[in-house]
Amino acid sequence: MSSLVRLNSALDWIDIDDKLADIGCDHGYLADLAFKKGVSFVQLIDNKEGPLNVAKKNLYEYLDKTNAKFTLASGLLELDSRVNVVAILGMGGELIANILEEGKHQASNVNKYILEANTKVPLLRKYLFDNEFEIISEKIVKENNKYYELILCKKDSKLIQYNELDLEFGPILRKEKSSLFVEKWTDVYNKYQNIIKKSDVTPDKLVAYCKMIEEIL
């Protein structure tokens, strides 16, 4: 379930005239915010009936004056042709990559993807780079003492150049180096340094990872 902080951060990237699809619709919370913003069409997609039924109840006040489409399907496989923006929030990075891969032929009209992976963010970035997705913007937010990274990207035909730092820390996040970004990676660095100090045999990978963090900080 995506938090309100993350949902509002995603909402910033959705324009009033966008036609949105929310994959794994999370009881309709993002659609609710989008309709309040002025968006007129949202396709809510989930592979379980339960969240869709709850979403219909939560969005009942909008059903007469907006266009909410509820779709029981997996990922992007039943994507409406009107959709130009896809949001996939609160899933694992590997699952998001699989959804994008499986639905790539159904998403030909999509010009904007809003993604938030709870795990394996570097894996997701690698998929995006290797499959000609350009990362347009990134955000880092904090909720309940956990950090979450959101990615705004679009499909492009050009070859994307990237390196290990881009994968691990985000090509835009590591350049902008916001206070929250520094806070997150300082916390991670300190945690691993404590592990190294207490360990009789320090794994080389852990030492190398700390050096990477030092480089971006």
Q: How confident is the model at residue 1 (pLDDT cuts 50, 70, 90)?
A: very low
Using N-to-C axis directions, what is the helix angle for 29-37 and 4-11, rounded to 10°? 40
User: CA–CA distance from 62 to each of 39, 58, 166 (Å)?
Assistant: 11, 9, 41
Listed in sequence order, the residues at least 6 apart from 149 whose beta carbon sits closer than 8 Å to its beta carbon are 116, 117, 121, 138, 139, 140, 170, 173
Identify the H or E element spanning 168: helix 164-169
Round to whole Å and give the CA distance between 16 and 158. Answer: 29
Kindly state the average pLDDT of the residues 128-138: 96
pLDDT in tens, 38-97: 999 999 999 999 999 999 999 988 777 679 999 999 999 999 999 999 999 999 999 999
**DSSP readout, 110-159?**
--EEEEEEEE-HHHHHHHHHHTTEEEEEEEEEEETTEEEEEEEEEE-SSP
pLDDT in tens, 149-179: 999 999 987 888 999 999 999 999 999 999 9
Mean of the per-residue pLDDT values of the chain: 93
Which residue's entry shows tokens 């639905």? 103
Query: What is the gyration radius of the CA atoms in the chain, in angstroms?
Result: 19
Q: Is residue 37 scored above 50 in pLDDT?
A: yes
Q: How many Cβ atoms are within 10 Å of 200's Cβ, its own excluded?
A: 4
Listed in sequence order, the residues at least 6 apart from 204 whose beta carbon sits closer than 8 Å to its beta carbon are none
Q: What is the pTM of this model?
A: 0.94
Exposure b/e, 122-146, CB count within 10 A at least 16 = b = ebbbbbbbeeebebeebbbbeeeee
